[in-house]
C-alpha cells in the first residue's frame, strides 16, 4: 500500500514530530473526513507500506531527521515552490530559501524520488503571465539538476476560492496558451520534463506530458520495483494516480495559502492546532467513544523486485 503524508495538510512542515512518532511506534490512525466516526488504523511497517508519499512547501523542519523514515521506507517527495509571495502564501518560505532546502532534500533522497510542483497557476494583476514565465524560468534553471520532473496545473475555481481570492483573473485562451508555450520552451531549454496534473487536455504540442503525480509507472521507475496491475482511482476528476491512504486531516494546514482547497479558512486551521497532540494516534484530536476503529486491509502492491544492474 501507499501512505500519503501530505495530501490533506502540510505534515512535514507543521507536524513532523507527530509523524516521526507515528513511524517510530509503527501505527497511525486516520479519521474519515466524510464519515467522521470511522477511524482507519494503518500499520507503518515496510512489509506492507511500499512507499510514503510526501508533499510539502517546506521540508526544513524534518530534514535533520528525515532519514529516520527514508532509511526504512521507500519515499517519494513532492516539493511545491511557486511564484507567489506573502500576499498569497503568508507562511511559506521565499523562493531562494525553498530552493536551498530542496537541494538539501535531494542530497538525502536523490533526483529520481524528488519532484518539483509549480501549482496552482493563477492570474491576478500582480501575478501576470509574464510574471509566471520569468519566475518559472528562474526556478527551472536552478532546480532542473535536482528533480526528476516538474508538475504544474491551472487553478480550479472552487466556490470558497471565489470568496477567498476575488482578485483572480480568469484565463483566456490567449493567456493560457502563453503559459503553455512559455513553460514548454523553458522546460526544453533546461532539459526538464514537464507534465500536467489531473488535466484532460492534450498539451503535447507544447512538449508537455499528460500524466498523474503518482502513477504506477512513475513510482515503479523511481523505486526500481514492479507493481501489480492497479486501478487509477485518484481523488479528483481526471486523476491518474494509483491508490494511496492519507494520514492527514483537513483544516489543519497553517501555510495560509489563499487558494487552499484543504482549509475552510486559516482561522479554523489555527483553532484546530490546539487539538493536536504530537504523541496522539490521530493528527487531530483523540478517539471518541462512538468511533468505529477499522483495521485497514493492508498488502504490498509490489509484484517483484527489478534488478537495476
pLDDT (tens digit, 9 = 90+) per residue, 220-252?
Answer: 999 999 988 876 655 556 566 788 999 999 999
CA distance 60 to 290: 38
Answer for the pair 282, 247: CB distance below 8 angstroms, yes or no.
no
Per DSSP, helices labelled H in the chain are 11-14, 16-25, 67-70, 95-109, 129-143, 159-164, 173-189, 216-223, 266-272
Q: What is the pLDDT of residue 235?
A: 57
Residue 24 pLDDT grade (very low, low, confident, very high; cuts 50, 70, 90): very high
Mean pLDDT of the chain: 93
Task: Give CA–CA dist 248/225, Å, rounded.
Answer: 26
Lowest-confidence segment of 48-52, 159-163, 166-170 by average pLDDT = 159-163
For the four alpha carbons of 61, 67, 68 and 74, in that order, the dihedral sign comes to: positive
Per the CB < 8 A criterion, the answer to whether 23 and 275 are in contact is no
**Could you tell me the pLDDT band of residue 307, with boundaries at 50, 70 and 90?**
very low
In this prediction, residue 240 carries a pLDDT of 67
Residue 69 has phi, psi (to 5 degrees) of -100, -50
Element at 303 (helix H, strand E):
strand 302-305
Residue 190 to residues 104, 140, 145, 147, 279: CA-CA distances in angstroms? 21, 7, 9, 12, 44
Task: Indicate the pLDDT class of residue 26, thresholds 50, 70 and 90.
Answer: very high
Of the candidates 235, 242, 240, 198, which has an alpha carbon nearest to the alpha carbon of residue 219?
Answer: 242
φ and ψ at 34, to 5 degrees? -95, -25
205 SS3 class: helix
Share of the chain above pLDDT 90, in %: 81
pTM for the whole thing? 0.94
Query: Residues 259-285: pLDDT tens digits?
Result: 998 888 889 999 999 999 999 999 999
Q: Which of 148, 52, 146 is nearest to 102 (CA)?
A: 146
Strands 27-31 and 292-295: unpaired
Q: Does residue 308 register a pLDDT over 80?
A: no
Amino acid at each position: 500500500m501507499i501512505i500519503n503524508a501530505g495530501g490533506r495538510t502540510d505534515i512535514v512542515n507543521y507536524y513532523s514530530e507527530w509523524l516521526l512518532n507515528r513511524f517510530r511506534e509503527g501505527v497511525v490512525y486516520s479519521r474519515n473526513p466524510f464519515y467522521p466516526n470511522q477511524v482507519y488504523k494503518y500499520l507503518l511497517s515496510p512489509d506492507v507500506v511500499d512507499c510514503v508519499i510526501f508533499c510539502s512547501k517546506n521540508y526544513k523542519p524534518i530534514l535533520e531527521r528525515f532519514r529516520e523514515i527514508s532509511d526504512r521506507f521507500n519515499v517519494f517527495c513532492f516539493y511545491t515552490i511557486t511564484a507567489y509571495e506573502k500576499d498569497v502564501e503568508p507562511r511559506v518560505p521565499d523562493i531562494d530559501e525553498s530552493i536551498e532546502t530542496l537541494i538539501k532534500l535531494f542530497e538525502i533522497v536523490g533526483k529520481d524520488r524528488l519532484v518539483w510542483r509549480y501549482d496552482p497557476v493563477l492570474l491576478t494583476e500582480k501575478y501576470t503571465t509574464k510574471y509566471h514565465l520569468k519566475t518559472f524560468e528562474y526556478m527551472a534553471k536552478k532546480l532542473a539538476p535536482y528533480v526528476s520532473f516538474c508538475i504544474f496545473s491551472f487553478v480550479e475555481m472552487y466556490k470558497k476560492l471565489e470568496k477567498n481570492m476575488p482578485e483572480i483573473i480568469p484565463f483566456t485562451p490567449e493567456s493560457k496558451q502563453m503559459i503553455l508555450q512559455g513553460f514548454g520552451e523553458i522546460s526544453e531549454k533546461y532539459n526538464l520534463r514537464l507534465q500536467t496534473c489531473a488535466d484532460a487536455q492534450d498539451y503535447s504540442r507544447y512538449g508537455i506530458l499528460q500524466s498523474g503525480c503518482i502513477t504506477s509507472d512513475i513510482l515503479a521507475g523511481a523505486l526500481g520495483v514492479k507493481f501489480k496491475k492497479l486501478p487509477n482511482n485518484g481523488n479528483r476528476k481526471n486523476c491518474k494516480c494509483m491508490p494511496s491512504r492519507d494520514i492527514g486531516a483537513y483544516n489543519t494546514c497553517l501555510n495560509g495559502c489563499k487558494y487552499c482547497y484543504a482549509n475552510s479558512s486559516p482561522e479554523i486551521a489555527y483553532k484546530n492546532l490546539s487539538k493536536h497532540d504530537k504523541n496522539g494516534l490521530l493528527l487531530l484530536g483523540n478517539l471518541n467513544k462512538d468511533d468505529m476503529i477499522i483495521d485497514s486491509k493492508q498488502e504490498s502492491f509490489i509484484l517483484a523486485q527489478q534488478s537495476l544492474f
